[in-house]
Amino acid sequence: MTKTAAIIGGGVIGGGWAARFVLNGWNVQVFDPDPEAARKIGEVMANARRSLPGLTDVALPDEGAITFHETIASAVDGAEWIQESVPERLDIKHETFAEVQANCDASAVIGSSTSGFKPSELQQGALRPGQIMVTHPFNPVYLLPLVELVPGDAGDAALVEKAKSVLSSLGMHALHLKKEIDAHVADRFLEAVWREALWLVKDGIATTEEIDDAIRYGFGIRWAQMGLFETYRVAGGEAGMKHFMAQFGPALKWPWTKLMDVPEFTDELVDLIAGQSDAQSGAYSIRELERIRDNNLVTMMRGLKAQDWGAGALLNAQEKLMRDGRPLGAKADDVPADKPVLTARRTVPLDWTDYNGHMTESRYLQAFADATDRFMEMIGCDAEYISNGGSYFTAESHIRHLDEVHAGAVITIDTQVVLGEGKKMHLFHTMREGDRVLATGEHFLLHVSLETRKPAPPSPQIEAALARIAKGHTSLPRPEGLGRAIGGPR
């Protein structure tokens, strides 16, 4: 039976929660008085649909339905999880919780996205204080897995366990804080870094872009996969954390930071930071920046998933739950036509290897596909040409796996044109490590119009370039394995 969640407040965070629930098969009922709420959440949903499903190798459940309601009472009707994401004003939150509890099921989890208020503050005057808890996520909620779960002393133990179970099923990690504190845990770290960054900008030490570079090219990536203390433990070498603390502990007494001394937000400082930020990122719209961010996060977390580490381990655990829960370039004139064309030379990366310790079969196809793309570029079918509406589509492929290859090996691919005339392009790739033949890939492609999505003649320039190379390659020996069918010669 489909479960139901209620979202009270559909801004950036509320919209992210809605997307996380909907894409994991829950029905979502939204209350937000903003007349633009449906449009805004729709845009967040569009970004989530293109990114979240790509995190897992098991298909997510069928999407739930999302509906918009004119009252809180209607939105919370039948909901098992109610997420409050209204403005950060305690009086508004108290009014919201009063109306929610007057109309919701007593067994529903009521979570607050608050980044600053403690649960004891949220629970003041509540009908059922133990039902209300902090469930503070991080943006984008539909991708980042951390949720700070803070029930406070009044928290209902059964509802806390229910909250953990639900969050786990959504691919999220509930960081259960046993004691409440202003701003919880993660935002206190962020606040400390933010304060120091403000001083570095104000004092002219670094620009906003330079500070961001220090994070994203350095400790940010390191923290993403190992956190703070484990990172420092590794930094201590074989002697571990004690050695690290003994070596670097004295630095804590040095006046390196101004963490408790915050610069005044003068107009000059605000203008300085805003101007530098515009110079750094103003060429992109917010939606473009979100898509860039999402692409980076998906790439990073899938990499961590292959190592079963950090956020990637959470994805593997979620996949197990889902599996267990249901059945299952050179220009054309420069390309010589008297010999095969070198179309790839690359190192086999670690994440291209499989459980047998060698390159997995799908990566052979990827390598050959990349070689085809390179050859297309060589004959003029490059990004600019494709953007103008022409390209080649692969119609048929055949790969022979002849020998294994391991991570770190340098592989090359030579490409021979078997046929190149009109709309047709028939390529034969040979992959080698040194002189050792690893695989061959035979591919038949048709030139298409991207407007009609049907075969169409290429431009005269591309047709001439392809024909020139194809004519030259007719004098080459017939490649071994050409035209071979599975199990034997044709």
What is d(CA 17, CA 458) in angstroms, rounded to the nearest whole number? Answer: 47
Residues above pLDDT 70, as percent of the chain: 95
pLDDT in tens, 468-484: 999 999 999 999 999 98
In this structure, the strands spanning 410-421 and 390-401 are unpaired
Q: What is the DSSP letter of 219?
A: I
In this structure, the strands spanning 27-31 and 4-8 are parallel
Residue 325 has what pLDDT? 55
**Which residue spans of the chain are classified as CATH 3.10.129.10?**
332-473
- The mean pLDDT of 205-225, rounded to a whole number, is 90
Q: Any binding-site annotation on 11?
A: yes
The residue among 347 and 212 whose pLDDT is bigger is 212
Q: Any binding-site annotation on 16?
A: no
Residue range 332-473 in CATH 3.10.129.10? yes
**Which residue spans of the chain are classified as CATH 3.40.50.720?**
4-183
Phi/psi for 111 (5° steps) reads -105, 145
Indicate the average pLDDT of the chain. 90
What is d(CA 316, CA 309) in angstroms, rounded to the nearest whole number? Answer: 9
In this structure, the strands spanning 132-136 and 146-150 are antiparallel
Q: Any binding-site annotation on 218?
A: no
The residue among 327 and 458 whose pLDDT is bigger is 458
Residue 264 has what pLDDT? 81
Q: Does the pLDDT at position 490 exceed 60?
A: no
pLDDT in tens, 366-384: 999 999 999 999 999 999 9
What is d(CA 288, CA 6) in angstroms, rounded to the nearest whole number? Answer: 29
Contacts of 27 (CB under 8 A, 6+ apart): 2, 3, 4, 5, 64, 65, 66, 67
Nearest partner of 256 among 192, 195, 196, 190, judged by Cα: 196
- Measured in whole angstroms, how far is the alpha carbon of residue 262 from the centre of its chain? 34
Radius of gyration in angstroms for the set of CA atoms belonging to the chain, rounded to a whole number: 28
Q: Does the pLDDT at position 326 exceed 50?
A: no
Q: Any binding-site annotation on 422?
A: no
Angle between helices 37-51 and 12-23 (to 10 degrees): 50
Residue 328 has what pLDDT? 34
462, 411 contact by CB (below 8 A)? no
232 confidence band (pLDDT: 50, 70, 90): confident
The residue among 319 and 78 whose pLDDT is bigger is 78
pTM of the model: 0.71
330 confidence band (pLDDT: 50, 70, 90): low
What is d(CA 455, CA 393) in angstroms, rounded to the nearest whole number? Answer: 9
Q: Does the pLDDT at position 327 exceed 50?
A: no
Residue with tokens 């909250």, as numbered in its chain: 163
- The mean pLDDT of 103-116, rounded to a whole number, is 97
What is d(CA 479, CA 441) in angstroms, rounded to the nearest whole number? Answer: 11
Name the H helices within 129-185.
157-169
Fold of 187-283: N-(1-d-carboxylethyl)-l-norvaline Dehydrogenase; domain 2 (1.10.1040)
- The mean pLDDT of 106-120, rounded to a whole number, is 97
218 confidence band (pLDDT: 50, 70, 90): confident
Residue 55 has what pLDDT? 85
Phi/psi for 66 (5° steps) reads -115, 130
pLDDT in tens, 371-419: 999 999 999 999 999 999 999 999 999 999 999 999 888 899 999 999 9
Residues above pLDDT 90, as percent of the chain: 66
173, 53 contact by CB (below 8 A)? no
Q: Does the pLDDT at position 319 exceed 60?
A: yes
**Which residue spans of the chain are classified as CATH 1.10.1040.10?**
187-283
- The mean pLDDT of 135-153, rounded to a whole number, is 96
Domain 4-183: what homologous superfamily? NAD(P)-binding Rossmann-like Domain (3.40.50.720)
What is d(CA 447, CA 149) in angstroms, rounded to the nearest whole number? Answer: 55
- Measured in whole angstroms, how far is the alpha carbon of residue 258 from the centre of its chain? 34
431, 441 contact by CB (below 8 A)? yes
